[in-house]
């Protein structure tokens, strides 16, 4: 019997603002064993080539509500709803309902709204106390307002559901009863909202889902309707919000780069991509898969049928075979095809929206406050640990 | 160069449409459409980049097409 315990995953961040030190060693082979917060072990696939291919591989099932699949946490079975089938053909059916709302044209039609919200929030921030806390003042409200508009959720409810979502996404930072309560509250909140929208449909995504569901029970049942509304609400803001806050903090830690951008605004998109590449907020705990067949990897290792697999987006993103000087923050990096939004049929449906929000947020902030800087040393910024999202929780800024 | 797309595998990432709006577009569902099958030579490198960037390998070029 081996006495060796596989390393803990998610890997610890390297303070203050670098990618986890552990990532420097993960590419020696195509895969490694890791220990999850639950104590279960899983196989982490680490090289770009394999990660990208496996995102599209039908031999890996996304249906992980199986008794022998590893769990991320004993106290939170996020992503493990046994009534939801996330594999094709069901997945394809639901996804095609959603993608309509996320075409480039639809996203572009939201651009003026996003800019308006960003400007309003920055006005308020300028008029408020200094230093300001960037998450509260800007990074969270911006994507919340946008996703609320898209889904048709009243923005006034945001404090309420934000609390539930925070509990929902806890891994070890809250006791299991509290996680359970947050989930129930969120489910109930959405149930009430859906009932309300059934009576008063509007031009928004939830109303559209309800319409499709009520017309044809086979496309989406009531449980699926709730599930996907919840998924879009959570995914639509927490990820973008953490990325705006934490990505900005990382950028402000490098005033030289801030000056470079301010001298040439066309660098904003590549800066956003580079921050997406190097600062994955949620590690890769959301990419749990289950092998339904044996799968050989690029170095000859075989993932055996029945293995629980995590696809390491951060491993792929710093694979030296693909990225030159992968641990360096290079805001001029060309062809930055990082894996932060996944790949294949599960590619993040909100990626284009997130990119647009991140670009607007970054440029508007640096234009409005040319001298913006961190009001505390980077080393002292607290990072959220023990949750599915691991961004900085407090980012005091001054200008 | 001829540009070919497979909308059956497209995941609606919109990456190609943002990169080359004159060459790629999306239908009502968001699935990729090729607007210009034979883009100008000056665009060829950018088209190849779009091909490499597509997360589902749904677009390709036939170099002598
Ligand atoms: S880049 Fe690929 S997946 Fe994205 S819209 Fe174009 S063809 Fe579809």
* Whether the Cβ atoms of residue A132 and residue A125 lie closer than 8 Å to each other: yes
Strands A288-291 and B2-5: unpaired
Q: Which pLDDT does position A1 carry in this prediction? A: 46
Per-residue model confidence as pLDDT tens digits over A108-130: 999 999 999 999 999 999 999 99
Exposure string of A161-193, with b = 16+ CB inside 10 Å and e = fewer, is bbebbbbbbbbbebeeeebeebbebbeebbeeb
Q: In Å, how far is A335's CA from the nearest CA of chain B?
A: 7
- Percent pLDDT > 70 in chain A is 95
Torsion of Cα atoms, A194 then A200 then A205 then A210, to 10°:
60
Ligand 1 centroid to Cα of residue A351, in Å, is 12
How far is the centre of ligand 1, averaged over its atoms, from the C-alpha of B10 (Å)? 5
Report d(CA A355, CA A394) in Å as an integer: 23
Percent of chain A with pLDDT over 90: 56
Contact B11 A344 (CB under 8 A): yes
Are A33 and A44 spatial neighbours (Cβ–Cβ below 8 Å)?
yes
DSSP codes of every residue in A272-300: HHHHHHH--TTTTGGGEEEESS-EE-TTS
Q: Ligand 1: does its nearest atom lie under 6 Å from the Cβ of B6?
A: no
Domains of chain B: 2-62 (3.30.70.20)
DSSP code per residue over A129-178: -SSEEHIIIIITHHHHHHHHHHHT--GGGHHHHHHHHHHHTBSSSS-HHH
Token pair, residue A152, equals: 């048709």
User: Is it the case that residue A284 has pLDDT exceeding 60?
Assistant: yes
- The confidence band for A88, taking pLDDT boundaries of 50, 70 and 90, is confident
| B14 to chain A, closest Cα gap in Å | 6
CB-based contact B13:A352 (threshold 8 Å): yes
pLDDT at A46 over 80: yes
Can you name the residues that pair with A302 across neighbouring β-strands? A296
Q: Whose CA is nearest to atom 8 of ligand 1?
A: B10
Average pLDDT, chain A: 89
| The pLDDT value given to residue A63 | 87
| Phi, psi (degrees; rounded to nearest 5) at A291 | -80, 120
The band of A341, judged by pLDDT with boundaries at 50, 70 and 90, is very high
Pocket probe for ligand 1: among B5, B15, B48, B50, the residue whose CB has the most ligand atoms within 8 Å is B15
- ipTM comes to 0.90
Please tell me the distance from the alpha carbon of residue A147 to that of residue A349, in angstroms, as a whole number: 13
The whole-angstrom separation of Cα A383 and Cα A277 is 18
CA nearest neighbour of B15 among B42, B43, B55 = B55
Handedness of CA A191, A195, A196, A197 (dihedral sign): positive
CB contact under 8 A, A352 and B14: yes
pLDDT grade for A75, boundaries at 50, 70 and 90: low
pLDDT band, residue A3 (cuts 50/70/90)? low
- The answer to whether residue B57 neighbours chain A at the CB level (below 8 Å) is yes
Count CB-CB contacts under 10 A for residue A127: 7
Nearest CB neighbour to A104, from listed B17, B52, B53:
B17
Pairing of strands A41-45, A308-311: parallel
Long-range contact list for A189-193, CB < 8 A, 24+ apart?
A189/A157, A189/A160, A189/A161, A189/A164, A190/A226, A190/A229, A190/A230, A190/A233, A191/A226, A193/A153, A193/A229
Name, in order, each residue with C-beta under 8 angstroms of A257's C-beta and a sequence gap of 6 or more. Answer: A251, A271, A329, A331
Between B29, B30, B52, which is nearest A337 by CB? B52
Q: What are B59's strand-pairing partners?
A: B5
User: Is residue B57 within 6 Å of ligand 1 at its C-beta?
Assistant: no
Q: Which residue of B has its CA nearest to A346?
A: B11
- Among B7, B9, B11, B57, most A C-beta atoms within 10 A, so best to mutate, is B11
CA distance linking residue A43 with residue A34, whole number of Å: 6
Backbone angles phi, psi at A34, to 5 degrees: -135, 155
Q: Is the CB of B20 under 6 A from ligand 1?
A: no
Residue A306: the pLDDT is 96
Ligand 1 mean position, distance from CA A43 (Å): 29
Cα-based angle A278, A56, A289 (whole degrees, multiple of 5) = 75
Q: pLDDT tens digits, residue range A157-167?
A: 888 888 888 77
Select the more confidently predicted residue: A197 or A4.
A197
How far, in Å, CA of A68 to CA of A325, rounded? Answer: 39
The stretch A213-235 carries a mean pLDDT of: 85
Question: How many CB pairs below 8 A link A and B?
Answer: 59
B/e letters for A287-318, b = 16+ CB within 10 Å, e = fewer, are bbbbbeeebebeeeeebeeebbbbbbbbbbbb
* Secondary structure, 3-state, A167-198: HHCECCCCCHHHHHHHHHHHHHHHHHHHHHHH
Ligand 1 atom 4, closest CA: B13
Q: What is the mean pLDDT of residues A147-160?
A: 87
Q: Which residue of B has its CA nearest to A102?
A: B30
- Residue B24 belongs to what H/E stretch? strand B24-26
The beta-carbon neighbor of B13 closest among A55, A105, A347 is A347
Of A129-143, A185-199, A210-224, B11-25, the range with the lowest mean pLDDT is A210-224
In this prediction, residue A297 carries a pLDDT of 97
Q: Which residue has the higher pLDDT, A188 or A175?
A: A188
Q: What is the pTM of this model?
A: 0.92
* pLDDT tens per residue, range B7-59: 999 999 999 999 999 999 999 889 999 999 999 999 999 999 999 999 999 99
User: Which is nearest to A276 in space by CA: A312, A301, A240?
Assistant: A240
**CB of B9 sitting under 6 A from ligand 1:** no
- pLDDT for A209: 87
In angstroms, rounded to a whole number, what is the distance separating the alpha carbons of residues A35 and A25?
A: 16
* A344/B12 touch (CB, cutoff 8 Å), yes or no: no
User: What pLDDT does A386 receive?
Assistant: 64
- Predicted local distance difference test score (pLDDT) of residue A383: 83
A133: pLDDT confidence band, cut at 50, 70 and 90? very high
CB distance B53–A337 less than 8 Å? yes
Is the beta carbon of B12 within 6 A of some atom in ligand 1?
yes
What value does the mean pLDDT take over residues A18-44?
92
Q: Whose CA is nearest to atom 2 of ligand 1?
A: B54
Angstrom distance (rounded) from CA A3 to CA A277:
35
């Amino acid at each position: 019997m081996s006495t060796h315990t596989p390393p803990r995953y998610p890997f610890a961040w390297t303070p203050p603002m670098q990618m986890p030190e552990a990532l420097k060693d993960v590419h020696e082979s195509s895969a490694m064993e890791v220990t999850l917060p639950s104590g279960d072990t899983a196989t982490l696939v680490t090289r770009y080539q394999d990660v990208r291919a496996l995102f599209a591989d039908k031999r890996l099932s996304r249906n992980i509500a199986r008794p022998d699949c590893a769990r991320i946490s004993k106290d939170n079975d996020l992503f493990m709803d046994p009534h939801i089938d996330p594999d094709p053909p069901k997945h394809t059916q639901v996804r095609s309902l959603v993608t309509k709302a996320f075409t480039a044209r639809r996203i572009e039609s939201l651009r003026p709204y996003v800019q308006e919200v960003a400007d309003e929030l920055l006005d308020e921030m300028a008029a408020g106390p200094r230093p300001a806390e960037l998450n509260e003042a800007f990074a969270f409200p911006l994507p919340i307002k946008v996703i609320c508009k898209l889904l048709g959720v009243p923005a006034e409810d945001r404090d309420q559901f934000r609390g539930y979502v925070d509990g929902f996404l806890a891994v070890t930072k809250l006791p299991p009863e509290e996680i359970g309560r947050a989930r129930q509250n969120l489910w109930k909140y959405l149930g009430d909202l859906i009932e309300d929208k059934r009576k008063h449909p509007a031009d928004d995504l939830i109303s559209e889902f309800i319409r499709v569901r009520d017309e044809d029970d086979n496309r989406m049942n009531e449980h699926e309707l709730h599930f996907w509304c919840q998924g879009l609400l959570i995914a639509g803001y927490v990820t973008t919000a953490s990325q705006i806050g934490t990505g900005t903090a990382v950028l402000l830690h490098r005033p030289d780069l801030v000056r470079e951008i301010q001298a040439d605004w066309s660098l904003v998109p590549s800066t956003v991509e580079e921050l997406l590449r190097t600062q994955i907020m949620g590690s890769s705990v959301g990419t749990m898969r289950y092998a339904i067949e044996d799968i050989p990897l690029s170095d000859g290792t075989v993932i055996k049928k029945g293995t629980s697999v995590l696809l390491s987006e951060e491993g792929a993103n710093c694979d030296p075979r693909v990225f030159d000087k992968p641990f360096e923050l290079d805001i001029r990096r060309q062809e930055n095809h990082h894996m932060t939004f996944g790949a294949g049929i599960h590619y993040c449906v909100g990626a284009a929206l997130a990119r647009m929000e991140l670009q607007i947020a970054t440029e508007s902030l640096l234009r409005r406050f040319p001298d913006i800087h961190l009001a505390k040393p980077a080393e002292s910024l607290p990072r959220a640990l023990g949750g599915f999202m691991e961004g900085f929780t407090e980012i005091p800024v001054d200008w | 160069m001829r540009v070919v797309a497979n909308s059956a595998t497209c995941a609606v990432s919109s990456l190609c449409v943002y990169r080359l709006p004159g060459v790629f577009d999306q239908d009502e569902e968001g699935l990729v459409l090729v607007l210009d099958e034979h883009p100008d030579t000056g665009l060829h490198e950018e088209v190849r980049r779009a091909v490499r960037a597509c997360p589902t390998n749904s677009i390709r070029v036939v170099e002598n097409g």
